[in-house]
Chains A and B, each alone.
Chain A
Amino acid sequence: MRLKKRISAYTLAFAFASTTAAFAQQKAEVLHWWTSAGESASVKVFADQFTKAGGTWVDNAIAGGANARTAGINRMVGGNPPTMMQFNTGKQFDELVSNELVRDVEQQAKAGKWRELMPKPIVDATVRNGKFYAVPVNIHGQNWMFYNTKVFADAGLEVPKTFPELVATGEKLKAKGVIPIALGGQPNWEHNLFRAVVVGHGGADMFRKLYGARDQATVKSSKFKETVELFGKMRALVDPGSPGRNWNDATALVITNKAAMHFNGDWAKGEFIAAGQTAGKEYGCALVGEGGGKLVIGGDVFVFPVTKDKAQTATQDKLIEVLLDPTSQIEFNKKKGSIPVRMDVDVSSMDTCAQKSHAVLKDPANQVEAMEMLSTPNFSGAMQDAVTQYWNNANMTADAFIEKILGAMRDAS
């Protein structure tokens, strides 16, 4: 009797476990670091679309990219991966591919003609050994200059188109008591500004040779020195309160008419939108540089950890469909501030900055892959250390800075 009871308890438990397993078939656990208000609203687009398609979206948001990546990688190595996980385009997931921890999605890519629809830098950033190992979902431009239209109108100045112009205009603005450049004085934003100057003044080729090929001759060239000196002159165009400031506080200076210009990625649009401003009206966005400027692009991708569970693989397939569906692409990117990764969708419902971005990217010559795709995190970090030292020390010469870059090229793995 007692034995019988126990057996039935076991069967019951077993049955229970197997039914939950059956329910869990279309359950997708998604690990990402989109935690700010705008970001979580945008990821909700994917979640809703997936739910509509009959799945269950389990949201696992971890604040901070580095934290989320560490948690996700540890779980993959430990054999308990999430269904889908966010990464940025670039080398962040290289070793996951070489250790066979994420699956390739080449089949879907071929069927969906991803190579034709997406800009080449984005394709290159996700393809390893000839196969797609991640699904790109958006394109972020990193070197936009946001400017306050009222400040420029009041000062009677034109919005600068090149960096030498920008330095001259900046000095005039400073004389009028306006902060010429609002900068979040943290090492990564200082580095972002530096990259904007390199790509704008030095050109896409210099940018690639610096971060990708680590070509010492380029760094020793006179053009590079000129670029570095221009960047050095911009040190005088930020306000004394800049060091340590958060990027969104810097954006706020432009929103509140205190500062004229602000270099940032298109994610800064979210701040303007939250303040009730419209692109092309209170603020504008421009690419500074010779020949109209190039756009440094990166974006977010999702990787799909290898799993033996067939149901999970099917769930992953469904997720891929949802991510690249034209409707989810438009709606997601409207909220995220980026533009759709598919160049074939109609962007006329998006704001002027997004349309400008889309138009610029139509010409492949304007597409410049972001540092994260060219360089290892280690070299990027060493460059960041060099840039922040140069930027914050007004007495440091361009030559000393160039020497530091050469050192970083030699030492960083």
Chain B
Amino acid sequence: MSTVSLRAPSISPATAPPRRRLLTRLPAAFALLPTALIVLIVYIGCMLWTVRLSFTSSTLLPKLDWVGLAQYSRLFANDRFLTSAENIVIFGFLFISGCLILGFLLAVFIDQNVRGEGLFRTLFLYPYAMSFVVTGVAWQWFLNPGLGLQKLVRDMGFPNFTFDWLVNQDMAIYTIVIAGLWHGSGLTMAILLAGLRGVDNDLWKAARVDGVPTWRVYASIILPLLRPMIVTATVLLATGVVKLYDLVVAMTLGGPGIATEVPAKFVMDHLFERNNIALGTAAATIMLVAVISILAPWVYMKYVRREGRHA
């Protein structure tokens, strides 16, 4: 299972006297100290600092006054932030589910012992080796109505063919999803393929003896077995969703209009271009709260409730 236990390996207190236990643990504690400090000061510290700044009226430089929730009421009256929030939900849902479905299908396809497996594997994983900026620029060219796909098909003799999602306000966010899927599916495939390869062949034989149809084996036996891999892939993809920024900047710069704005871009623009640290940190705090509120039930299920049951 993917469960990473947070409890220290239990050394039974009866076998080692407390003093020796301390001595053996000391070097380990020292070795971990720098990491612990970095986590405490850099991550937690910066997090608290960000939250604190969101209650101020800081502009270019941080200022430690107190304006209460003024920045938050501005934030939720801001069209651009609301569009950003909506977009990240659309992108997050479609990107994660799309990557999982495509990745799984690709993995199953490769697992059929196709000829040239190595070639296909490389081919599918290759986009992941690209940075989001390169991905964004490439897809911007490909989807540009005057340069890419639309022009190509029209030149081939279909003058009425239209594919202008990139410059269409209602559809532009889906072009970001398409580019994201192209980029992320390969990685999901690699993770799930590793899982598929780990499935015991006897399971397949037994299912075949029982005359279970193949799709049923995948749905009822293989998928549950792949759960840890799916969780891993989902977590990796989800971090990609939260930090979505460079793909949008390279591909649409948030446009047309504000159609493809995302929260991370809102934060970056307000912190570094618009000299509005307070509003930027307020948006960052909302992002943090959103992530925590998605993670909290999961952490509760995984750790808190289980501990409770043991007691």
Q: Which A residues lie at the B interface, using CB under 8 A?
A: 66-67, 70, 73, 77, 92, 94-95, 99, 185-187, 239-244, 376-378, 380-381, 385, 388-389, 391-393, 404, 407, 411, 413
Contact = CB atoms under 8 A, between A and B. Distances in A.
Nearest to B147: A241
28 contacts: A66-B272, A66-B273, A94-B60, A95-B61, A99-B61, A185-B167, A185-B255, A185-B256, A240-B164, A241-B144, A241-B167, A243-B252, A243-B256, A244-B140, A244-B167, A244-B251, A244-B253, A376-B275, A377-B273, A377-B276, A381-B274, A389-B257, A391-B257, A392-B169, A392-B256, A392-B259, A411-B74, A411-B78
Given A95-B60, A244-B140, A413-B59, A378 B275 contact: yes
Contact of B253 (A186, A389, A391, A393): A186
Contact of B57 (A240, A241, A381, A413): A413
A377 B59 CA distance: 10
Given A66-B273, A376-B275, A377-B273, 17 more contacts: A66-B272, A73-B61, A92-B275, A99-B61, A185-B167, A185-B255, A186-B255, A241-B145, A243-B252, A243-B256, A244-B140, A378-B270, A378-B276, A381-B270, A392-B169, A393-B257, A407-B77
B253 A385 contact: no
B269 interface: yes
Contacts of B256: 185, 243-244, 388, 392
Interface in B119-175: 140, 144-147, 164, 166-167, 169
B167 A377 contact: no
B61 A378 contact: no
A412 to B, nearest CB: 8
Secondary structure class of chain A's binding surface, majority of residues: helix
Interface in B152-202: 164, 166-167, 169
A388 B259 CA distance: 10
Contact of A392 (B80, B146, B251, B257): B257
B108 interface: no
Contact of B274 (A67, A185, A187, A378): A378
A144 B255 CA distance: 24
Instruction: Among B80, B255, B269, find the residue whose CB has the most chain A CB atoms closer than 10 A.
Output: B255
A391 to B, nearest CB: 7
Contacts of B78: 411
Contacts of B92: none
Among B140, B269, B270, which residue has the most Cβ atoms of chain A within 10 A? Answer: B269
Given A95-B61, A413-B59, A243 B258 contact: no
Interface string B72-107: 001001111000000000000000000000000000
A413 B276 contact: yes
A99 B74 CA distance: 27
Nearest to B78: A411
Contacts of A391: 257
B254 interface: yes
Given A377-B273, A377-B275, A393-B169, A243 B255 contact: yes
Contact of A385 (B74, B79, B140, B276): B79
A391 B258 CA distance: 10
Interface in B273-309: 273-276, 279
Nearest to A69: B272
A389 B276 contact: no
Contacts of A393: 169, 257
A243 B167 contact: yes
Contacts of B275: 92, 95, 376-378
A243 B166 contact: yes
Contacts of B167: 185, 240-244
A185 B146 CA distance: 14
B257 A381 contact: no
Given A239-B146, A243-B252, A244-B252, A388 B257 contact: yes
Contacts of A413: 57, 59, 276
Contacts of A95: 59-61, 275
B67 to A, nearest CB: 10
The 8 residue pairs across chains A and B that have the minimum distance between CB atoms: A392-B257, A241-B146, A381-B274, A243-B256, A392-B256, A243-B167, A95-B60, A377-B275
A342 to B, nearest CB: 30
Contacts of A407: 77
Contacts of B77: 407, 411
A240 B167 CA distance: 7
A156 B272 CA distance: 47
B257 A244 contact: no
B259 A385 contact: no
B86 to A, nearest CB: 14
A381 B269 contact: yes
A241 B256 CA distance: 11
Contacts of B255: 185-187, 243-244, 388, 392
B272 A385 contact: no
A380 B78 CA distance: 15
Contact of B273 (A73, A99, A242, A381): A381
A335 B91 CA distance: 44
A44 B145 CA distance: 40
Contacts of B74: 411
A259 to B, nearest CB: 12
A56 to B, nearest CB: 31
Interface string B242-258: 00000000011111111
Contacts of B252: 243-244
Contacts of A380: 274
A413 B80 CA distance: 16
B96 to A, nearest CB: 26
A186 B252 CA distance: 8
Interface in B217-267: 251-259
A24 to B, nearest CB: 30
Nearest to A411: B74
A29 to B, nearest CB: 22
A411 B282 CA distance: 15
Nearest to A381: B274
* A66, A94, A240, A413: residue with the most chain B Cβ atoms closer than 10 Å: A413
